[in-house]
Amino acid sequence: MTKIWVDPARCQGHARCFMIAPETFYIDDEGYGHVVEGREGAYEEENTRKAIRNCPERAIKLVETEDA
Amino acid sequence: MSDNETLAEFDFHGKALDTIFDDYAQMHESKPVGRSSKYGGFWYICKSEDIFDAEQDPQTWSVGPSMLLPSFGTEMPLIPIDIDPPTHAGFRKLLLPMFTPMAINKLEPGMHSTAIELSDQVKSAFEDSDVVDVSALFARPYPTIIFSRLAGYPEQDWPLFDQWIDDIIYERTKSPEKAKAAGDDLIAYVQRLIDDGRAGKALEGITGELLNATIDGRPLTDDELVSYGYLLFLAGLDTTAWAIRSSLWYLARNKEAQALLRREPERIVDAAEEFLRTLSPVQAMARTAKQDTTVRGQEIKAGERVVLVFGAGNRDPEIYDNPNDIDITRENNRHLAFGGGIHRCLGSNLGRKELVISLEHFLATIPEFELAEEEPWHGVGSLRLRLTGGE
């Protein structure tokens, strides 16, 4: 299935994803972005799409995983 | 002069900013990587993709001897912006937790009350006078006061801070001695705070946290603490003041945009991004090639200085529809105003919030305004406004 993934090697903590779509992304104590548990499949939602488009590091990716 | 002759003297400071958007258009049209003779000579890079790639590749592009061109009036490298990997990561990591959205949210009540207070002062100034300089009364004091709180610098010292900023940032291309003197004063000021802290005085904010922090298992040296203090000061004050001023400058010239943001203040968040994209306080930052390399077919030799022109990348026609239009409803805005990669602006969460909150309260308090006279879009000089009598 398709999942949203924040590439930790790319993320520099701009926090745009969290400001735009806080229901899908959260920020850890060092300021780096992650996907909220259970929200990995929300990539078609408008806010999430906007967050992906606005990530300055292009760190938010859609990845294919084998698990259902 | 022909276009390419203009670009051969491309500059991104002072008066040159008046017409810099024309330079950007020329670059995009005819010469996306070119050579300027200014500041000892440098290559400029204007395409968004090329700038992005360079920021992602610190192995090829060093930030030494300074990300600033010309550098500030100091011999020391500024931590962490003038530091390359691998040393860079540890220095940056110390600051990261202090600039997360959650850390910045703690300042939010004070950000609102100060914005309300300053907006009220602008309002009463308009009762006494037809024309009010909102740069001096609003755009400049606001971020300086907020920063003083965050950094743990005595808040009442802010007029002094603004004078140093003027001298260090804006006088350095014209009068390096003045910049040097102000830089020395600032260093002495930060050193005094550190001395007080070492002598047992409780220090607030970032200064206090850094004093107690360790790197590689040891406390920070005085030189490192001073460098941090110096950088935070220069990075946090005039940039935000510029962003607030340039946003108000735009709104003063565009009454429809003013009306829209007054009617639907929730749009200020997207509008702020558009102001940052098009009128950004940081138009360019420098690098040095660590090895021979090629950008868009142009050979660049090891040791040569290169300027990443963020402001031009932000107006790249390949990235943005109608790149030179300021469209406050634009939603796709992956701009370069805060840079990117390992050196992206650490204060972006703070700066964005200051810009949005200050505009919210200014527009809620001050009725329709316009420019009292033509003023440049850039810098932190005056912004003289008058009220139109409209809502």
Q: What share of chain A is helix, strand, coil (3-state, %, to 5)?
A: 25, 25, 50
- The verdict on a CB contact (< 8 Å) between B344 and A12 is yes
Tens-place pLDDT, residues B223-246: 999 999 988 888 888 999 999 999
pLDDT higher than threshold 80 for residue B133: yes
CB nearest to A31's CB, from B100, B340, B352: B100
pLDDT tens figures, B286-305: 999 999 999 999 999 999 99
Mutation choice for B interface testing from A12, A17, A58 by most B CBs within 10 A: A12
Please give the pLDDT value at position B3. Answer: 61
Name every chain A residue with its beta carbon within 8 A of the beta carbon of B340: 12, 56-57
pLDDT-based confidence at B73, cuts 50/70/90? low
Query: In chain B, which residues have their Cβ closer than 8 Å to the Cβ of A46?
Result: none
Query: What are the tens digits of pLDDT across the range A20-60?
Result: 999 999 999 999 999 999 999 999 999 999 999 999 999 99
The model's pLDDT over B159-205, given as tens digits with 9 standing for 90+, comes to: 889 889 888 888 887 888 888 899 999 999 999 999 999 999 988 89
Look at B344 and A13 and tell me if their CB atoms are within 8 Å: yes
Nearest residue in chain A measured CA to CA from B100: A31
Tens digits of residue pLDDT in B9-67: 999 999 999 999 999 999 999 999 999 999 999 999 999 999 999 999 999 999 999 99
CA distance B129 to B122: 10
Which residue type sits at B179?
A: A
Neighboring chain A residues of B331 at a CB cutoff of 8 Å: 50, 53
pLDDT above 70 for A68:
no
Between CA B116 and CA B121 the distance in angstroms is: 9
* Beta-carbon count within 10 A of B390 CB: 11
- pLDDT of B86 reads 93
Q: Is the dihedral of CA B343, B54, B176, B9 positive or negative?
A: negative
In Å, how far are A14, A58, B242, B346 from B283, measured between CA atoms? 18, 21, 12, 17
- CA R_g for chain B: 21
Q: Residue A66 has which token pair?
A: 């084998």
Distance CA B141, CA B118 (A): 8
Neighbouring CB atoms inside 10 A of A45's CB total: 14
Q: What SS3 class is residue B369? A: strand
Q: In which residue are the tokens 């904010």 written?
A: B205
Residues of B in contact with A12 (CB under 8 A): 340-342, 344
Q: Which of B101, B269, B333 sits opposite A15 (nearest CB)?
A: B101
This prediction has a pTM of 0.95
